[in-house]
Structure 1
Amino acid sequence: MLENLLTSKTVQIKKDVDFDWKEAIRLAASPLLDSGKITDSYIQSMIDVVDQNGPFINIGPHIALAHSRPENGVNEMGMALMKVAPAVNLVSEDHPITLFFVLAASDNTKHLEALKELATILEDEGSRQRLEQATSVDELVKEFKGVRE
């Protein structure tokens, strides 16, 4: 499922970044907004959730998974990824993030398979290192397809 969600159209790399975590979420979500999978209100909802609850979307070393409720502006299930350098602090310097994933779940169950696949990749040390070291969108996309060179 991930290979259909995280593609060259939904994965991006931003280098020499100088923006905050709110702008990082906005930019990471932009492919989903541009394709009509989410609305502006969904992006604001993801930001509001972190403002209210803190950096709970920091799901692993340098990894964030931004999301909100489907009724807050999801038109169709989707996922996006933006890799940044240098790291962007999520709320505080205790949470430096380089991989900003965005999940747009259209209901309470369809996205679970994608999350399971993502967890498997992120739990694998080799996969995580390849994501952290990737210098191109193609390298990132290949990791979600399971293609190794």
Structure 2
Amino acid sequence: MERLILNENNVKLQVEAKDWEEAVRIGAGILVSQGCARQSYVEGIIDAVKELGPYIIVAEGLAMPHTRPECGATDIGCSLVTLKEPVYFDGDEEPVRVLICFSAVDSESHLDILKMIVGFVEKGWIPAIAAMKEQSELFDFLEKNQDAE
């Protein structure tokens, strides 16, 4: 399943970002470039984090940038970005090196993406994913471990 959701067009590894806002712009920008969201969706994520705090940090080292569909989601989409250096969100001391952004147009269409993210966390894969340097390394890892289940 992860292989179907993640592909060479929506994964960027070891990206440089000066702060959390730039990291979110990069990750959510992939959704925009794929036609899954409008730029207003990116701004909606940033505005929500500024207003509500770092609600998108869901596990150690992992943020899941997303916001309400009406902020500009046009289709279901997903992106994975790892950062060369961690970023810190205002109000949280947890370093974040992996961002899995998603957009959804309703309350159910993104459930496969959420299952993928929960699986990564439960299996303890976030540190390994954060360290990967090449897309092929990530895809091989996911394929090998998916087959082992």
CA-CA distance at 1:147 after TM superposition: 6.2
CA-CA distance at 1:88 after TM superposition: 0.9
Confirm whether residue 8 of structure 1 aligns to residue 20 of structure 2.
no
Distance 1:81 1:93 in 2: 21
Q: Is the 8 A contact 1:2 1:118 kept in 2?
A: no
Match of 2:129 among 128, 131, 135: 131
Q: Which runs of 5+ in 1 are unaligned?
A: none
Q: Could you report, residue by residue, the CA deviation over 1:66-100 in whole angstroms, capped at 9, with x for unpaired residues?
A: 00011111111000011001101122560211001
10 and 85 in structure 1: CA distance in 2 versus 1, 3 angstrom threshold: same
| Root-mean-square deviation (Å) | 1.9
CA-CA distance at 1:112 after TM superposition: 1.4
TM-score (norm 1): 0.88
Q: Give the paired residue count.
A: 146
Q: Is the 8 A contact 1:130 1:143 kept in 2?
A: no
Distance 1:18 1:78 in 2: 22
Q: Is the 8 A contact 2:83 2:130 kept in 1?
A: no
Q: Could you report, residue by residue, the CA deviation over 1:46-81 in whole angstroms, capped at 9, with x for unpaired residues?
A: 001100111111111110000001111111100001
TM-score (norm 2): 0.88
**2:93 corresponding residue in structure 1:** 94
Distance 1:7 1:30 in 2: 15
Amino acid at match of 1:82: V
Larger CA deviation: 99-108 vs 86-95: 86-95
Q: Which runs of 5+ in 2 are unaligned?
A: none
Larger CA deviation: 138-147 vs 64-73: 138-147
CA-CA distance at 1:121 after TM superposition: 1.9
**Within 5 A, what are the aligned runs for 1:53-68?**
53-68=52-67
**Within 5 A, what are the aligned runs for 1:10-25?**
10-15=10-15, 17-25=16-24
CA-CA distance at 1:3 after TM superposition: 2.2
Distance 2:37 2:60 in 1: 27
Amino acid at match of 1:2: E
Distance 1:40 1:23 in 2: 14
Amino acid at match of 2:33: D
CA-CA distance at 1:129 after TM superposition: 3.6
